[in-house]
A = this chain, B = another copy of it.
Amino acid sequence: MIDREQQVLDRIERQRRRPAKVREERITLSHGAGGKATHTLIEAVFLAGFGNPLLAPLEDSARLRVGDARLALTTDSYVVSPLFFPGGDIGDLAVNGTVNDLAVSGATPLYLTCGFILEEGFPIADLTRIVASMRAAADRAGVTIVTGDTKVVQRGKADGCFINTAGIGIVEGTSDFGVSAVQPGDAILVSGPVGEHGVTIMLARGELDIEADLVSDTAPLNGLIAELLAACGGVHAMRDATRGGVATILNEIAVDAQVSVVVDENAIPVRAEVRGASELLGIDPLYVACEGRFVAAVAGDQASSALAALRRHPLGAEAAIIGRVSAEQPGMVLLNTAFGGTRIVDMLVGDPLPRIC
């Protein structure tokens, strides 16, 4: 286990000594894909520019102390296209996504803000539908939308509706989660089948000439995570597998905790429809975004109790142990393939699925 404060100082020092550099002169879609280009942009531009110890852990939310309260604070913008898709819309995505960023940080989500950027000409009926969906998602997750903002830009200067949500949660107990707490011997679990959200969005765009009975997995994970934490004290890190998918999180764990992660392809739950569509797209389902799944690193001797706790909850019914953490080959993610081989799973490169969330 690497000391968190030390890790933060190391990251700032590393950036100072050998600054990450964005090679491109202009923003590309890859910079928003959550993979390698996004990480470089964050280190080279945002961490270098804003650089402070609270931002530096680059977790899904920042941990703050305000008075006597320990808080988590997070934000995400949503630019998904299309706005409405099987199983959800940009509204519940914007609520669930921020709820989940707080929940995977070990915080209890409480309050959300919501900022709309609307394009001139956007139908009021669609906006009303999105707001209703946000309200329903907030009620389901037990959070309240307490303040907001609306901006309008001229026709052609946005794409219908973009939403930003920020959220605060309270951190209770003494548990210190985070990728830097992951240790060799930990088991890696995923809370359900991967890639359904991403493939659903691609199908909703009509870009694939197939029909499938898939819906987005968008869901609030705070209830499921609360049950896991109540049942199992050995949870070291959690991240929700959004942009860049499970593969990206595994790489973040490997790099930030300086361990390797070895996963078994056969153990990863993937629906047949997702597998089929991913093959057509030429991408690995491990890189496809989920919006209601998370990856957890759990002390090895508590893996089965963690799995049992997840499976008791409807949102974790298909949870699985997919791999383990090792001290060898730090920084690497290795996949034992279904055919008996082993290959390296790298960070996502490029953006095969733009505007998935």
Contact = CB atoms under 8 A, between A and B. Distances in A.
Interface of A: 22, 24-33, 38, 41-42, 45-46, 49-50, 52, 54-55, 61-62, 64, 66-71, 73-79, 110-111, 113-125, 127-128, 131-132, 134-135, 138, 144-154, 156-159, 162, 164, 166, 168, 170, 351, 354-355
A127 B66 CA distance: 30
Given A69-B66, A71-B66, A128-B49, A148 B55 contact: yes
Nearest to A97: B149
B76 A46 contact: no
Contacts of A135: 49-50
A222 to B, nearest CB: 16
Contacts of A120: 26-29
Q: How many copies does the complex hold?
A: 2
A131 to B, nearest CB: 4
B69 A67 contact: yes
Contacts of A156: 156
A98 B179 CA distance: 31
A152 B32 contact: yes
Contacts of A117: 77, 79, 117, 162
Given A27-B122, A79-B151, 5 more contacts: A50-B148, A62-B147, A75-B115, A77-B151, A117-B117
Nearest to A116: B77
**Which of A22, A46, A123 has the most CB atoms of chain B within a 10 A radius of its CB?**
A46
